[in-house]
Each structure stands twice: as C-alpha cells, then as structure tokens.
Amino acid sequence: MACAFRRSIASQTVLQEVFEDGAHYGLKSELFSGLPQKKVLVDFSSPNIAKKFHVGHLRSTIVGNFIANLKEALGHQVTRINYFGDWGMQFGLLGAGFQLFGYEEKLQSSPLQHLFEIYVQVNKEAADDENVEKSAREFFRQMEAGDEQALSLWQKFRDLSIKEYVQIYKRLGVHFDEYSGESFYREKYREVLRLLDKKGLLQRTKKGTAIVDLSGKGDSSLSCTVMRSDGTSLYATRDLAAAIDRMNKYNFDSMIYVTDKGQQDHFQHVFQILRLMGYEWAERCQHVPFGVVQGMKTRRGDVTFLEDVINETRLRMLENMAFSKTTKDLENPHEIAERVGLAALIIQDFKGYLLSDYKFNWDRIFQSRGDTGVFLQYTHARLSSLEETFECGHLRNINAACLQDPQSVSILQHLLRYDEVLYKSSQDLQPRHIVSYLLTLSHLTAVAHKTLHIKGSLPEVAEARLHLFKAVRSVLANGMKLLGITPVSRM
C-alpha cells in the first residue's frame, strides 16, 4: 500500500512537471544546472551557388538545424550561419555563360534552376571552345579585380539565389541569422597570408604556391596549401579568414561546422593552422562530420535541387496517404503530406550515428508502423484527436492512483527519463538518442491506446488517463520540434 501511494505521488509529480515546464520540460533538470550560457555559432547547410545541391547539403541542413535547436533549448545564444560557396571560377563560367545563353526573365523567376542550366551548358561549350573558357577566365579576373559590371552581375546571381533558398528553407522550418559566404573573404584572405608570413609560418614552394607546415616544425611532412601560384586564395585560406573574422565579430565560445566526413581533413588543417597562429580559441572550433547517403533519387533522376527532394517527399507521401485506410479527410493534404514526409526523411537520417553511411530507400522511410517519422507523426495526430474529442479537466483534480497499471507506469517512467536523453545528445551532438526515445515513447503509447480506454471508463479513471496521454503528446511534440519536425494534429 505504501509503495502504491508513493508511486501515485510520483506520477502526479511527473505529470505536473510536464505541464508546468511545457517546452522546457527536461531542460530544468539538475543535469543542466550551472550550465553557463554560451555564445555558439553553427555553420551549416552552405550550398554552392550554381552547382548541384547534393544530399550532403540536405544532411548538413537538417543536422545543423538540430544542433542549433538543441543548443538554443539549453539556453545558449545561437547564431546560425549559412556559408555559401559564392565565389570562384564557377562564377566566371556563369558570367560568360549568361551573356551567351541567359534569360533575364528565367533568372528572375527561377534563379537556381536557370543558373544551373547555364552552368551545365557553359561547361560543355568550354570543353570544345577555347574562347568560352577564355572569356570565363576573363570574367572571373574582372570580378577579382573589382570590376563594377562583373560584380553587379555576380551580386544579382547571388541575391536571387539566396532569395529562392530562403523560401525553400522555410518549407523545412529552417532559418539563418547570417547569410555569409566565401565571397566575404575574397580580400580578407590577404591579411591571413600576411599574418602567417609575419609569424614565419608561410613557406614558398618551387611551384610558386605557399604552404603551411602543419607540424609547426618546418619539416613539411604534412602541409596545407594556402595560396595558389597566381597569389589567389583557396577554400582553406578563406575559412581561416572567416574563423578569425567571426571571432572578432562574435567572440564565440564555440563554433560548430557541419559537413560530410570528406571535409574532416580540411577542418583539422584549418584548426591546426589557427593553433599555430597562436589563437587559443582554436580549441573552441569543432567539426561535426556525417556519412554519405547513397541512392537518394527522385523519379526524374538525381537530386539537383533541394526543392526536388521536398517535392518528391510530398508527392510520395500524398500517394501513401491516399492508399492508407486511416487517412482522414484533410483540408490541407499537401501541407500535411509535406510535414509527415519530412519527418520521415529526418528520422531515417537521425536514427543511426551521424558518421555512418546509409542507403536511402523511399519505401522504408514511409512505413507507418516501423520506426519511422510517419509513426511519430501518426502517434502525435492520434493523441491530438484524443484531446479534441474528450474534454480534459484540471490536473489538480486527477487521482493518480488510477495510473498504476503496467502500461501507465512504463509510460510515466519513460517520461521521467527525458532529461537524460537530452543530456546524452547535448554531450555528443548525436540526435539518435532523442530519436530512439521518441520511438519507444510512441510504441508504449500504441500499447496503452489498446488497453487504457477512455470511453466507458469511470470518470476518475478516464480523467487520469487523458492527462497521461496529454503529457505524452507534449513531450513527443517537444522532442520532434528539437529534431526539426513540425508535429501534425491530423493526418
């Protein structure tokens, strides 16, 4: 009896905390107490203008968004930075190509598509025609020299592309605080080279390039090139300039870069050079790498644009919903399909270690009973409709002694563990802890749904169960939002 009593007090306390803390449930735990508020920069998504948007960029977008959400939830001050590939020879080709076969109207109406078309075509022409290649090089030279006309065309390409990206990110529920890019450092890299030289870290090679010996001992066993023979910068040089610039601007406590694992060496080199330059804050920089996704294709072929992935997801989900017996009549089926489909995409991606590669499979991600995002959304929608159907009174009046059956107890115990899971993810920045927690919560709920009836139960019992389900929905929604998923209330 005493034990049952203690348990009912505990149940009451868990439910109370879930409702009172709302979106902050789990985050007020002692696991996070004394956690100082930090300035965190997250550099993510960062596609290259005019080039293909590949699955790696999609992964960077959703992983970076998750990390930013999590850091924000933990109370840190987060700045989300999109570092576009917006400088380089590809703009020489685009500039030359646009003059040959560009259309102003097409550029205005669908810039990403049109610029990519031009890019593909001009590359083809340049392979056969030396003059095209020449004029591309000349265009880029003008850009580097600060020629106003060349720069204004480049600026137009960039502005219109970003404008379109912002719209697409919106569909994903992703936003950025800063749209930066490699172009910002097209001049500032010179300062980095000067500094490296002053510190005696810059070595000239016979080819006329400049390198930094990463051991710092001058034996050149491992080095990083920071200047081309014509004096221009490389990817690494611009990242060095960007890191220093961000330190000056934000005085960050930590900066996190999210890219595929192919860039691991790149970031280790950049961090090591910063260290050699004497910046102790190099230790505050972190690269979060992820693995390769194989075989993500749309029915039309390879993924070229971010929009393709989202549209394909929506389309396939709509088809699935049309076949499903449980689908409700919806006012906005397209929107719901998109939200559910994106949840499926995100859960598939976040289930394992970020560093592992995986093979993408459209059918698998949409299984409504498997460990999928569809299952999470379905659970959330079911719980929402329960709340709509039955009026749920005040928590104060519930009798928690009615929640001592095994199903309720396992749910309550699971709810209690949410803070530990958040803590784990905050430590290794891996979303999989939260994913598996939410999937288990949904499985427990599916079982409880079958046995813990509301209709036909005594009012006292029904009321207690309704509160339990309401608490589950709240925690489920919190977790989904952290992962970057917008929960739906009908599907």
Please count the residues of this chain forming the interface with ligand ARG, following the rule CB under 6 A: 8
Of 475, 394, 409, 454, the residue nearest 11 (C-alpha): 409
Task: Report the C-alpha gap between 429 and 63 in whole angstroms.
Answer: 9
Give the nearer residue to ligand ARG in terms of CB position, either 257 or 290.
257
Binding residue for ligand ARG, selected from 8, 16, 29, 48, defined by CB under 6 A = 48
For the question of residue 54 being annotated catalytic, the response is yes
Q: Count Cβ neighbours within 10 Å for each residue of 41-59 and write b for 16 or more, e otherwise.
A: bbbbbbbbbbbebbbbbbb
Nearest approach, Cβ of residue 258 and ligand ARG (Å): 8
Identify residues 75-94 at the interface with ligand ARG (CB under 6 A): 83, 85
Q: Where are the alpha helices (DSSP H) in 33-147?
A: 55-73, 89-101, 104-109, 111-128, 130-145
Identify residues 238-297 at the interface with ligand ARG (CB under 6 A): 239, 257, 259
Q: Give how far the C-alpha of residue 351 lies from the chain's centroid of Cα atoms, to the nearest Å.
A: 14
Residues in CB range of 199: below 8 A, 6 or more apart: 276, 277, 278
Task: Report the C-alpha gap between 133 and 92 in whole angstroms.
Answer: 9
Nearest approach, Cβ of residue 191 and ligand ARG (Å): 18
Give the nearer residue to ligand ARG in terms of CB position, either 259 or 407.
259
Q: Which of 24, 39, 52, 54 is catalytic?
A: 54
- Written as six digits, the tokens of 478 are 């919190």
Q: Read off the amino acid at residue 244.
A: I
Residue 316 and residue 339 in contact, taking contact as beta carbons nearer than 8 Å: no
For the question of residue 269 being annotated catalytic, the response is no
Nearest approach, Cβ of residue 309 and ligand ARG (Å): 16
Nearest approach, Cβ of residue 472 and ligand ARG (Å): 38
Give the nearer residue to ligand ARG in terms of CB position, either 83 or 139.
83
In what helix (H) or strand (E) does residue 376 lie, and over which residues does it extend? helix 373-389
Q: Which of 38, 51, 52, 424 is catalytic?
A: 51
Q: Read off the amino acid at residue 252.
A: F
Identify residues 206-245 at the interface with ligand ARG (CB under 6 A): 239
In what helix (H) or strand (E) does residue 330 lie, and over which residues does it extend? none
Identify residues 16-45 at the interface with ligand ARG (CB under 6 A): 43
Eight-state DSSP code of residue 48 = B
Nearest approach, Cβ of residue 43 and ligand ARG (Å): 5
For the question of residue 266 being annotated catalytic, the response is no
Give the nearer residue to ligand ARG in terms of CB position, either 17 or 239.
239
Give the nearer residue to ligand ARG in terms of CB position, either 83 or 252.
83
Q: Which of 57, 269, 351, 380 is catalytic?
A: 57
Catalytic residues: 51, 54, 57
Residues that bind ligand ARG (CB under 6 A): 43, 46, 48, 83, 85, 239, 257, 259
